[in-house]
C-alpha cells in the first residue's frame, strides 16, 4: 500500500497541494481501485491486477492533464447524496448546498411549487425534493446534455422532479406554471476573473454555466428579476440566488430597483457574500 501511495504522491505532487492530494489518493485507492478502507489506512501490502494497473495509469494521466477527479470518477457528493457529473455540468459545491439548506429551512412546513432555473446536474432541485417532500419541484436548463445528467441524478436518487428545456434569458416563452419559489445558481463569474481561477475549472467545467461578460455581469439576475414580475412568480413569492461574492451590493441593488422586498444578502461558510433571498410584492 505504501508503494502505491508513494507512486501517486510522486506523480501528482506537482499538480495538487498536500491536503488536496491526500484526499485524492484516498479516493483513487478506495473508491476507484476498490482497495478496502482498512487495507488503505493500515498500509497493508497490496498487489494490483493488470486491469487495476491500467486503470491507475489512466487516472494519473488524466489528473496530470488537470481534469477534475470528479469527472474522471463520474460522480460528486452533494447534500449527502451522490451525483453523476461530466463536463456538460458544473461540479456541485458546498456553497450551493447552503442555498438549498436556506430554502428548505424557510419552507419546511409549507407545500411550495419550486422552479430551479438553470439546473445543471439537478443538484439543487433534487436536494430540495428530498428535504421538502411535500413540495412540487420543477427544473429547467438550456442544455439538453445537462438535462440528461439531471434526469439520471433524479432517477438514481429517487427524487420527484420534473425537468424541461428552457432558456432563462428568454422572457417571451411562458413557463408551465406559476411558482412560489424561483431558485437559481446562474452563470456569474466575469470573464476578467477567469485568470485568477484554477485551470481545472476554466478548462474543464462548462464555460456557458460559469462566465458572463464584464460589461453585463448581472444579466441573469436581471432576467430572473424580470421573470419574477410575470405570472411565473406568485404574489408574495420568493427568489433565491447564488451570486458572485464580489458583486453582492450590486446584485442587492438590482433586486431592490425592481421593487422586491425583504432583500437579504447572506454569507457562506467561508465568509463570502454568496446568496440572496428576496420576496415579491403582495397584490
Q: Which residues of 215-248 are buried (b: 16+ CB within 10 A; e: fewer)?
A: eebbebbbbbbebbeeebbbeebbbbbbbbbebb
**Better-predicted residue by pLDDT, 198 or 253:** 253
Q: What share of the chain is helix, strand, coil (3-state, %, to 5)?
A: 45, 20, 35
pLDDT in tens, 101-114: 999 999 999 999 99
Among left, alpha and beta (phi > 0; psi -120 to 50; other), residue 262 is left
Say which residues have a Cβ less than 8 Å from residue 83's Cβ, sequence separation at least 6: 75, 76, 77, 92, 121, 122, 123, 126, 153, 157
Q: Give the CA count within 13 Å in the CB-facing half-sphere of 141.
A: 27
Summarize pLDDT for 169-192 with one digit per residue, the tens.
999 999 999 999 999 999 999 999
For residue 147, the tally of other CB atoms under 10 A from its CB is 22
For residue 283, pLDDT over 60 is answered with no
Rounded Cα–Cα distance for residues 231 and 51 (Å):
57
Q: pLDDT tens-digit profile of 28-57?
A: 999 999 999 988 898 888 888 999 999 999
CB 238 within 8 Å of CB 253: no
Query: 267 or 7: whose pLDDT is higher?
Result: 267
Q: What is the DSSP letter of 28?
A: I
Taking the whole predicted model, whether its pTM rises above 0.75 is answered as: yes
If you average pLDDT over residues 261-271, what whole number do you get?
A: 95
Tell me the Cα Rg of the chain: 21
Amino acid at each position: 500500500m505504501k508503494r502505491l501511495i508513494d507512486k501517486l504522491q510522486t506523480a501528482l505532487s506537482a499538480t495538487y497541494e498536500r491536503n488536496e492530494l491526500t484526499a485524492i489518493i484516498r479516493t483513487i485507492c478506495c473508491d476507484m481501485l476498490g482497495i478496502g478502507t482498512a487495507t488503505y489506512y493500515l498500509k497493508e501490502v497490496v498487489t494490483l491486477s493488470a486491469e487495476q494497473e491500467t486503470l491507475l495509469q489512466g487516472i494519473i494521466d488524466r489528473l496530470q492533464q488537470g481534469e477534475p477527479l470528479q469527472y474522471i470518477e463520474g460522480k460528486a457528493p452533494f447534500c449527502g447524496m451522490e451525483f453523476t457529473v461530466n463536463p456538460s455540468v458544473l461540479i456541485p459545491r458546498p456553497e450551493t448546498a447552503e442555498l438549498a439548506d436556506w430554502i428548505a429551512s424557510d419552507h419546511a412546513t409549507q407545500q411550495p411549487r419550486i422552479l430551479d432555473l438553470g439546473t445543471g446536474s439537478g443538484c439543487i432541485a433534487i436536494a430540495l425534493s428530498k428535504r421538502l417532500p411535500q413540495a412540487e419541484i420543477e427544473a429547467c436548463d438550456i442544455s439538453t446534455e445537462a438535462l440528461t445528467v439531471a434526469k439520471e441524478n433524479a432517477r438514481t436518487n429517487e427524487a420527484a422532479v420534473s425537468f424541461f428545456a428552457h432558456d432563462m434569458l428568454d422572457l417571451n416563452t411562458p413557463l408551465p406554471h406559476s411558482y412560489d419559489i424561483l431558485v437559481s445558481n446562474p452563470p456569474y463569474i466575469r470573464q476578467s476573473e477567469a485568470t485568477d481561477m484554477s485551470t481545472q475549472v476554466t478548462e474543464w467545467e462548462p464555460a456557458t454555466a460559469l462566465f458572463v461578460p464584464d460589461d453585463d455581469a448581472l444579466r441573469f439576475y436581471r432576467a430572473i428579476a424580470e421573470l419574477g414580475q410575470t405570472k411565473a412568480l406568485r404574489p408574495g413569492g420568493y427568489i433565491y440566488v447564488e451570486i458572485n461574492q464580489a458583486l453582492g451590493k450590486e446584485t442587492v441593488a438590482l433586486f431592490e430597483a425592481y421593487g422586491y422586498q425583504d432583500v437579504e444578502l447572506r454569507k457562506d461558510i467561508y465568509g463570502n457574500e454568496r446568496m440572496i433571498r428576496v420576496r415579491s410584492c403582495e397584490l
